[in-house]
Chains A and B, each alone.
Chain A
């Protein structure tokens, strides 16, 4: 196989994603998407791609990833307000802070598996939520949220409108590309083996705990980048950023789209946000009911999510078998 072919095969999905994402401002409004929603979708694409490195690869279901998203958003907000309106130092400090928290929470929660791990992560996230509402009120703004940030700047560039969209989209493309690279690396293989058979993995000479912690921290870094970008997109941080509702929404996006496929969760994120913000207007009061029905239908009839649906369609209409 030629190197050119290899490049195309390895990066096909990234290039297709880049094409669809970068042209969004042209076609998204035609389907009723308001300006700015495309940016939000890209931010959540970052969140769920990182989340899939944990849930999809290792099989560990965290119900507390909003903690990293929220902590990073608060730190970004505080940095913009009191240090500099330049987003680069704000994002760096925010992601670093969330990473430190992730290492500590990861070390503690990964001692358990299955539902105990999920509940532990949920408990930690709730702890941070209540801290933001009580002892840290002075900095987080408590119930009112954190407001009063200046217009964020990328050095001399005002982060508004299309500039934010393209900045966020380029980040999403880069981070999706890196996630694909991890998937193709030995590290990605070890992470996926954790989901398959952890005992066999350890008896094959692999320290599964370290790879789990690595997956946990990487997914937290993605969540933190998404959280920081949320503040660049809209200079406000509410405590719902940290809440269990936010964590749950990420899980639903992942499941609807197809856990473990990296692309699927991004489809799920796009679908959920489009549904919540656009279709809900047409459906009126019942939109949550319809969303619930769709979620149930997917889980029951297509446990592999949208990606399973796509794979089935491909099988039916394209009989040629392609390698991977």
Chain B
């Protein structure tokens, strides 16, 4: 069953057609890679899914519910979390505080007036946050300022924030961009080991990452889906080779 159903989505920036009649179905529990040359519209498509951009046309259904004209925070509350290209964290807060935010967001919804409730009294919630931090290997940084972490650790922290949200769909926009080789490998391990049941859509340039993670791949070029299939099908696809000509990555 498709958890996410993107139907005939089009979006232009002025005269530039960033997305043209995009149709895409993401199956529940799978890891689906979205690849394509620079400027193909991959980030734009993710931004449509998180409510950041409104398409001119088309519809998006998540688990049977329409996503268009829904606020970003409500989309997140429905179960969609996003890992940004540059890690988006709360730099002037400790690692534990960073992860405590989604834990309370999951319990209380997008707004709650519990102004006089002591956070530290909610032991089970704090422990859950600590557990997420440990699972991502940040236990030694529990009380460090998030802004002082290395880039790789910031990425890990961002994933901890997203996972503490208990999402059903995780969107990742080039999670290994700018990472050293060993960091990239660690990230692949991390994504592989992530608890089952979470559907993942990953935008990625590094074909090693794509082929070691994805069960299905969609190729976007100039705002259109030009090919779709299993990694093996995509590897030899003539249209894909054509789209990537000059980038020589496949």
Contact = CB atoms under 8 A, between A and B. Distances in A.
Given A189-B104, A197-B90, A210-B111, A203 B81 contact: yes
Nearest to A6: B120
A204 B119 contact: no
B134 interface: no
Given A203-B76, A205-B106, A205-B110, A184 B92 contact: no
Contact of B102 (A6, A181, A205): A205
A127 interface: no
B69 interface: no
Interface string B62-103: 000000000111001100011010001111110001001110
Contacts of B91: 196-197
A4 to B, nearest CB: 15
Interface in B105-141: 105-106, 108-120
Contact of B92 (A181, A195, A203, A208): A195
Contacts of A208: 73
Is chain A's binding surface mostly helix, strand, loop or mixed? helix
Which residue of B81, B90, B118 has the most chain A CB atoms within 10 A of its CB atom? B90
B115 A197 contact: no
Nearest to A218: B115
A292 interface: no
Contacts, number: 98
Given A189-B100, A196-B90, A210-B111, A184 B119 contact: yes
B190 to A, nearest CB: 19
Nearest to B103: A186
B218 interface: no
Contacts of B35: none
Contact of B119 (A178, A185, A203): A185
A187 B110 contact: no
Contact of B88 (A181, A187, A199, A211): A199
A23 to B, nearest CB: 28
A63 to B, nearest CB: 23
A201 interface: yes
Given A197-B88, A199-B88, A200-B161, A186 B110 contact: no
A192 interface: yes
Contacts of A204: 73, 76, 81, 101-102, 105, 161, 165
B50 interface: yes
A200 B88 contact: yes
A205 B93 contact: no
A186 B106 contact: no
B115 A190 contact: no
Given A187-B112, A196-B91, A210-B111, A201 B120 contact: no
B119 A206 contact: no
Interface string B134-174: 00000000000000000000000000010001000000000
Contact of A203 (B72, B106, B118): B72
Contacts of A162: none
Nearest to B93: A196
B236 to A, nearest CB: 37
B110 A206 contact: yes
B88 A203 contact: yes
Given A189-B104, A195-B92, A205 B115 contact: no
Contacts of A195: 92
A143 interface: no
B222 to A, nearest CB: 28
A147 B102 CA distance: 53
B17 to A, nearest CB: 26
Nearest to B104: A186
Interface in B37-76: 50, 71-73, 76
Interface string A108-132: 0000000000000000000000000
B118 A184 contact: yes
B227 to A, nearest CB: 30
A203 to B, nearest CB: 6
B97 A184 contact: no
Interface in A195-245: 195-197, 199-208, 210-211, 214
A211 B111 contact: yes
Contacts of A185: 114-119
Given A186-B112, A186-B114, A203-B50, 20 more contacts: A181-B116, A186-B104, A186-B108, A188-B115, A189-B97, A190-B104, A195-B92, A196-B91, A200-B84, A200-B88, A203-B76, A203-B81, A204-B105, A204-B165, A205-B77, A205-B102, A205-B109, A206-B101, A206-B111, A207-B110
18 contacts: A10-B118, A181-B118, A182-B115, A182-B116, A184-B120, A185-B118, A186-B117, A189-B100, A201-B90, A202-B72, A202-B73, A204-B76, A204-B101, A207-B110, A208-B73, A210-B111, A211-B111, A214-B113
7 A-B pairs closest in CB distance: A196-B90, A205-B76, A205-B105, A207-B110, A200-B88, A186-B104, A210-B111
